[in-house]
């Protein structure tokens, strides 16, 4: 029980096995040499998959407050010899991300934004996404559809694509595509508004 108390909200639960991860990865359009930022990465299933796509010439930065999840990701990356994955234990809502401005090709958050919004903690994270993303980069968000669960959080804290667009648009982003990536999830992409 003491271990549970140390976990941030949502830690340990991953949406990776609940959605069509192959479709999601296709929709992210990752290329060899890209830089991928996984915010709220948990145990890093998405980071591992992205690292395999960007190859040894690319970089994957995986950030989470949950130390146990980061340690699990480090072991998995080591066992697959994925040296392009760099992990950080940090609170994405308050920390300045350990990345240069305009250095990320694709910033990714899977089932994280609704938790940030619930605790009114999204401002710092979205500002840092904007700062670190390249001008032609992509901000990709996976969220639970606004339907009754389980799985997932209560419907009252789920975000519809329109709600996500309204929220993210305040930080200078323009919506790209919305794609169903499973029975419970959608992917919504954004680009920096010129």
Phi-psi region of 68 (alpha: psi -120 to 50; beta: other; left: phi over 0): alpha
pLDDT grade, residue 5 (50/70/90)?
A: very low
pLDDT of 149 reads 85
Q: pTM for the whole thing?
A: 0.93
pLDDT tens column, 53-66? 999 999 999 999 99
Q: Which CATH class is domain 2-192?
A: alpha beta
Domain segments of the chain as ranges = 2-192
pLDDT tens column, 89-109? 999 999 899 999 999 999 999
Averaged pLDDT for residues 23-43: 97
Percent of the chain with pLDDT over 70: 93
Instruction: Record the tokens describing residue 50, joined without a space.
Output: 């992205």
pLDDT grade, residue 48 (50/70/90)?
A: very high
């Amino acid at each position: 029980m003491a271990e549970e108390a140390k976990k941030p909200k949502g830690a340990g639960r991953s949406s990776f096995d609940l959605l069509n991860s192959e479709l999601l990865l296709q929709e992210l359009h990752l290329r060899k040499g890209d830089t991928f930022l996984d915010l709220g990465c948990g145990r890093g299933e998405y980071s591992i998959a992205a690292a395999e796509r960007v190859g040894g010439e690319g970089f994957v930065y995986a950030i989470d407050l949950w130390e146990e999840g980061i340690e699990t990701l480090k072991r998995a990356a080591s066992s697959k010899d994925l040296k392009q994955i760099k992990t950080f234990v940090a609170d994405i809502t308050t920390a300045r991300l350990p990345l240069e401005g305009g250095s990320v090709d694709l910033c990714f958050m899977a089932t994280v934004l609704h938790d940030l919004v619930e605790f009114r903690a999204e401002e710092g994270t979205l500002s840092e996404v904007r700062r670190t993303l390249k001008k032609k980069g992509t901000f990709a968000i996976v969220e639970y559809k606004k339907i009754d669960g389980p799985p997932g959080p209560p419907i009252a804290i789920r975000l519809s694509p329109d709600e996500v667009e309204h929220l993210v648009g305040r930080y200078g982003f323009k919506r790209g595509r919305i794609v169903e990536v499973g029975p419970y999830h959608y992917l919504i992409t954004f680009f920096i508004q010129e």
